[in-house]
Amino acid sequence: MRLKTRVAVAAVAVGTLLASAACTTSDNSGSTPKNVEVFTWWADGGEKAGLDGLVDQFKKDCSQYTFVNGAVAGGAGSNAKTVLAQRLTQSDPPDTFQAHAGAELTDYINAGQIEDLSQEYKDWGLTNAFPSGLISNLTVNGKIYSVPANIHRANVLWGNKTVLASAGITQNATTLDGFFADLDKLKAKNVTPLALGKDWTQLMLFESVLIADLGADKFTGLWNGSTPWNGADVTKAIGDFSKLLTYTNKDTRDTYDWTDAEKLIMTNKAGYQLMGDWEAADLDAKAFKDYNYTVFPGNTGTYQWLADSFVLPKGAKNAEGTKCWLKTVGSAAGQQAFNTKKGSIPARTDAVASAFPAYQQSAIGDWKSLKQVPSCAHGSACSQSMQGAFNTAMGKFSSDGNATALQSALATAASQFIKK
């Protein structure tokens, strides 16, 4: 008798649990056709402020749709990219997602995961609003797959005015040789001449040296297969880069992220740092005003760009809503709202410069007039796999200084990953 009661109670309990579980799973808040789920890694700081500005504009332009924030924080995007990869494999894409414009999209394009937006570019007049250099960098096999929300510049050299003045540097150098002379002056003053971080920041520095030694056209050729990586000019660039490394914080550069290197500048312990122009927004946010900026020596006349952009995934639940979002992202008002808060500049050439802080105003002027070159470290020139191989090669070079091994590793990676 007792056993039967116990069994009966157990059965009822298990049954209730199962029923309640089944009920809760069916209460799925799936995206209704009015929601637009925007998947980014802009979860805090200036990036979130920029996203909020864009969302305000979206509410005005596309009031029939509701913005759903799908941001995933952490790891400078690596967490978000992992989640995104899983969702795409399961054919459950968000309505739109953030990706670096340019070559980094090739994996998505090859897997057939994003839609061609060439027609939308014509409809919305974006082919005229964006500079031609950008359009050609964005075009893959005659098609364009993303709408850039902003433009960041990668080859900017930031300096601590006080440290530079005390070392007797009155003008920033415009050639590599002049730069080496300035770095010697800083070394004599016992500060770190050039603050540097780990692998991808070293790749950025190496790219700037490549632009200086090869020139803009040959540099762009490195990424589409027309310039060979085992050439003599690349060997010279590696030699110059090796010399630059002797002026960096050798003990700590492999442990530093870009913000740690930035801290050396802010605490007057370093003279220069090469970093993208998001450094301006960060320095301003940390209330450090004693900085100046110039394009990296030898890079005069080039604008090394990278862009955050949005795409239309295949199988998105609310394609019309996504297109409305993309239109806002590409519109003058949307780009203005986004970029004034994020610290980058609009990709459009019709931006109103006066609404922006000082650095951005000079950048907007440069964007219209200078030659656009892509950046591997930030995805406009390289796919993710190629970036991984390059970062490993840079990390290896930082620890063993073997120039021939570096050049052959880069050449092998290029031949493996660049599909002509």
Partner 1 sequence: MPRRLRQWGPGLLLLSPSLIVLAVFVYGLIGWTVNLSLQDKHNALPSEGFVGLDNYTNLFTNDISDRFTHSLRNLAVFTVVFIVGTLVMGVLWAVLLERGARAEGLFRTIYLFPMAVSFVASGVVWRWLMNSGTGDNAGGLNVIFSGLHLGFLENRWWTDPNWGMAAMALPAIWQLSGYIMALFLAGFRGIPHELREAAVMDGASTFQLYRQVLFPQLTPVALSALIILGHMSMKMFDLIMSVSGPQYLTEVPSVYIWQMLLTNDQAKAAAIAVFLLLVVAVVIVPYLVYVNRAEKRS
Task: Report the nearest approach of partner 1 to the CB of residue 388 (Å).
Answer: 6
Closer CB to partner 1, 24 or 141, in the complex:
141
Are the C-beta atoms of residues 159 and 272 closer than 8 Å to each other? yes
Cβ closer to partner 1: 40 or 398? 398
Structure tokens at 153: 């510049």
Nearest distance in Å: CB 27, partner 1? 28
Among 20, 32, 89, 300, binds partner 1 (CB under 8 A): 89
Closer to partner 1 by Cβ: residue 175 or 267: 267
Figure out which of the listed residues 87, 189, 218, 269 binds partner 1, where binding follows CB under 8 A.
269
351, 346, 318, 339: which is closest to 62 by C-alpha? Answer: 318
Quick one: which of 178, 231, 301, 388 contacts partner 1 (CB under 8 A)? 388
Angle value at C-alpha 155, between 278 and 298, nearest 5 degrees: 155
Q: Is 385 in the site for partner 1 (CB under 8 A)?
A: yes
Residues binding partner 1: what is the number (CB under 8 A)?
Answer: 37
CA torsion sign for 229, 233, 237, 242 is: positive
Write out the binding residues for partner 1, residues 113-132 only, by CB under 8 A.
113
Asked whether position 85 contacts partner 1 by CB under 8 A, the answer is: yes
The piece of 75-83, 160-168, 216-224, 230-238 that touches partner 1 (CB under 8 A) is 75-83
- The H-or-E segment that residue 152 falls in is strand 152-153
How far is the C-alpha of 264 from the C-alpha of 195, rounded, in Å? 7
CB of 263: closest distance to partner 1 in angstroms?
11
CB contact at 8 A, 267 and 157: no
Query: Closest CB to partner 1 among 86 and 127?
Result: 86
Beta-bridge partner residues of 147? 310
CB of 54 to partner 1, least distance (A): 27
Q: Which of 252, 294, 349, 362 touches partner 1 by CB under 8 A?
A: 252
> What span, in angstroms and rounded, lies between the C-alpha atoms of 331 and 130?
11
Q: Is 82 in the site for partner 1 (CB under 8 A)?
A: yes
Does 27 participate in binding partner 1 (rule CB under 8 A)? no
Exposed e or buried b per residue across 113-134, where buried means at least 16 C-beta atoms within 10 angstroms of its C-beta: bbbebeebbeebebeebbbebb
Residue 391 binds partner 1 (CB under 8 A): yes
**Cβ–Cβ under 8 Å, residues 352 and 115:** no
State the DSSP code for 138.
H
Given 81, 317, 327, 348, the residue binding partner 1 (CB under 8 A): 81
Nearer to partner 1, 202 or 372 (CB): 202
Residue 11 CB burial class (10 angstroms; 0-12, 13-18, ≥19): exposed
Pairing of strands 146-148, 371-373: unpaired
Residue 45 exposed, middle or buried by CB count within 10 Å (0-12, 13-18, 19+): middle
- Contact positions toward partner 1, by CB under 8 A? 78, 81-82, 85, 88-89, 107-108, 110-113, 198-199, 249, 251-252, 254-255, 269, 383-385, 388-389, 391-393, 395-396, 399-400, 405, 409, 412-413, 416
